[in-house]
Structure 1
Amino acid sequence: MAVTIKDVAKKAGVSPSTVSRVLSNHPRISAETSRRVREIMEELGYHPNIMAKSLVSRTTNSICIMLPKSAEELFSNFFFMELIRGIVTQANRQGFDVLLSSGANEKDEVEGVARLLNGHRVDGVILLYSRTDDPVVDFLYQNNHKFVLIGRSEQYADILSVDTDNVQASYDATKHLISLGHQRIGFVSGPPELVVSKDRLQGYLQALSNAGLESKPEWIVEGEFLQESGYRAISFFMNLPDRPTAIVLVDDVISFGVLRGLHELNYKVPDDLCLVSFNNIPLAEMSTPPLSSVDIGIYNMGYTASQMLIQAIQHKDNDKVTARYVIPHRLVVRESSIFSVPKA
């Protein structure tokens, strides 16, 4: 016979309504009472009827993570895995389940989140990316759905978002190379439709301009957040007659492709070329040589986005929620950029 909420209440010495409040993470229930009730649930093997609970509370206690279109980019880039880890950790602590959604194109993405939200299968959405003129953001915003954007929106200033100051972070990375005496500094960007690519390019250009240095169009290469983009970019750079002596790369995974290409061309880092990258994933420290990289607090970014969304769903302290939360960044200098201008 299935264990009921009354069975849990009787064993815990509380009322059934108290058990219900524990299940809904009611703020008036003490931590001790919540702990005791949840221990009894586990002991008795009680599992709440999610569908019934959803009908009563009008919530599902589930959120959706909208993934980027490219599965290759998602599963080969530690950035997204670390973001998801932060989101899931916070969601689980709040008693929320997490669903993943993706689409082959923007139309599929909009239809996917519409089905989940209009079908009351999730209470809100976290977008792992920020694009210019994004129809998914338009749909969520115009229909007053709960959502949080990882990144900066160019469309709406009042949406909930979590980001780092990518302009300043890129400025700092470029300024570091300038301080080593570099005057010819290249830049490997991400897809141009992503706001993060535009912001990091802007910071790079501002640093060069403030230092009175030239920026040549051939020193800026666009690509995807994949190793192959870095591999192709470095082949192009090293064949320029007036090649850069240092490069700022928009993502660590791209840097690994650059390192592979330089090794095949018999160039050494930092002797022949200095590198500074972004995201400071664990592999950056273990690469050969270890990569200088801007730490943007990826896990904290995901954790904070999840926290903001669940707070919005539960209508807790909405007046105290900052619309745009900026995670501090720091440049971690390692062997790939510790020397002055390499030999030409």
Structure 2
Amino acid sequence: MKQVAERAGVSTSTVSHVINNTRVVSEDVRQRVLAIIEEMRYIPSAVARSLKNDRTQTIGMMVPNNSNPYFAELIQGIEDAAFKVGYNVILCNAYEDPKKQAAYLRVLIEKRIDGLILVASSADQELARLLRALAVPIVLVDREVDGVPADFIKADHEEGGYLATRHLIELGHRDIACISGPADLLSSRDRVRGYLRALREAGLRFRLDYLVRSNFTGEGGYRALQRLLRLPKRPSAVFASNDLSAIGSLCAASEAGLRIPDDLSVIGYDDIALASYTTPRLTTVAQPKYEMGQRITNVLIERIMGGHLPTRRELLQTRLVVRQSTATHA
């Protein structure tokens, strides 16, 4: 900064004001300083600027597993919205490991982030303690953490599970299984509640052996469907609680010699980009992933900029996307 000032014939404080827009500087001087900054390839120190204005223009984000395409599409919406307002995003991947989650949270605190977006891998006491000690705004996504006052945004997973199951019922299916996610996740439990609500409304009996827990992965869906196919009475349709599980189910069905959707209807959840390119193309319930990412970022930035609104809980709507993996049951 001193070298820029010497070449521009101005003080270092003037260079600082040009960079940070902290005081009105004449247009001639501003253009001269900016030209020299460009010529010298000078990059202002983010650390120094943050010490002065107490902002790093950085958001921390933690997800359970970014190998899941759902999170990739959510992150894109978050990054695009952050970039528009001059914020960078530091992404951490906890891989569903509570210890790694806590360690990465400490790293983000050390980086002096201005705010945090968290999709929790677990909600243990250590996580709650760290979040309560974090002196920046927090937006929780899909999974709440007890005792942590924060904005909370999720899709309406119960309604999504209901839409998926009702679609199968309307196609004439009566033996409908559900491949669920982990029981300790709120989003997973909500989708199962929607499944059960649709069965009740249709007067269909819930069979415990038709509810199989999985882990939201392709392998989990593959193993879950193999288990369902070993039952004395096979289901005619399956609601898989995410698209990766549904894709794993398609693979297991194919290996078992079943034709989709003639022998078995399969519906997923999320509407990841890959769902349009399976064989057959996957019927699913779409979450507004990109729009949700943008909304999450906008809420967080508003908090960072000093918004004093009450803590918010927002529920975004899902929708049914009918493709080729479901059909009328004779």
Corresponding residue for residue 239 of structure 2: 248
Structure 2: 5+ residue runs without aligned partners? Answer: 25-30
Corresponding residue for residue 46 of structure 2: 50
CA separation in 2, counterparts of 1:86 and 1:8?
40
The one-letter code matched in structure 1 to 2:240 is L
Cα deviation for residue 310 of structure 1 reads 2.1
Correspondence 1:146 to 2:112? no
- Structure 2 counterparts to residues 46-195 of structure 1, below 5 A: 46-68=42-64, 73-75=65-67, 77-103=68-94, 105-117=97-109, 119-129=110-120, 131=122, 133=124, 135-141=126-132, 143-153=134-144, 155=146, 158-195=149-186
- Structure 2 counterparts to residues 292-311 of structure 1, below 5 A: 292-311=283-302
The one-letter code matched in structure 2 to 1:332 is V
CA separation in 2, counterparts of 1:61 and 1:167?
36
Q: How many residue pairs align between the two structures?
A: 319
Cα separation, partners in 2 of 1:192 and 1:132, compared to 1, 3 Å: farther
CA separation in 1, counterparts of 2:93 and 2:36?
35
Cα separation, partners in 2 of 1:144 and 1:19, compared to 1, 3 Å: closer
Corresponding residue for residue 324 of structure 1: 313
CA deviations 1:80-118 (Å, max 9, x no partner) are 11122122222222222222234473244224313432x
TM-score (normalizing by structure 2)? 0.85
The one-letter code matched in structure 1 to 2:142 is G
Whether the aligned pair in 2 keeps the contact of 1:285 and 1:291 (CA below 8 Å) is yes
The one-letter code matched in structure 1 to 2:215 is E
Query: Of the candidates 218, 223, 244, which is equivalent to residue 227 of structure 1?
Result: 218
- Structure 2 counterparts to residues 245-284 of structure 1, below 5 A: 245-284=236-275
CA deviations 1:158-191 (Å, max 9, x no partner) are 5212211101111111111111111111000111
TM-score (normalizing by structure 1)? 0.82
Cα deviation for residue 126 of structure 1 reads 1.1
Cα separation, partners in 2 of 1:93 and 1:301, compared to 1, 3 Å: same
Cα deviation for residue 216 of structure 1 reads 0.8
Cα deviation for residue 232 of structure 1 reads 0.8
Say which is worse superposed, 78-87 or 1-10, in terms of deviation.
Answer: 1-10
CA separation in 2, counterparts of 1:149 and 1:9?
49
Cα separation, partners in 2 of 1:95 and 1:154, compared to 1, 3 Å: closer
CA separation in 2, counterparts of 1:306 and 1:163?
13
Cα deviation for residue 327 of structure 1 reads 2.2
CA separation in 1, counterparts of 2:187 and 2:82?
25
Q: CA RMSD in A?
A: 3.1
Indicate the SS of the match to 1:74: coil
Structure 1: 5+ residue runs without aligned partners? Answer: 29-35
Query: Of the candidates 315, 322, 329, which is equivalent to residue 333 of structure 1?
Result: 322
Cα deviation for residue 326 of structure 1 reads 2.3
The one-letter code matched in structure 2 to 1:255 is A
Cα separation, partners in 2 of 1:42 and 1:196, compared to 1, 3 Å: farther
Corresponding residue for residue 212 of structure 1: 203
Indicate the SS of the match to 2:66: helix
CA separation in 2, counterparts of 1:154 and 1:83?
20
Indicate the SS of the match to 2:21: helix
Cα deviation for residue 154 of structure 1 reads 6.4
Cα deviation for residue 130 of structure 1 reads 6.5
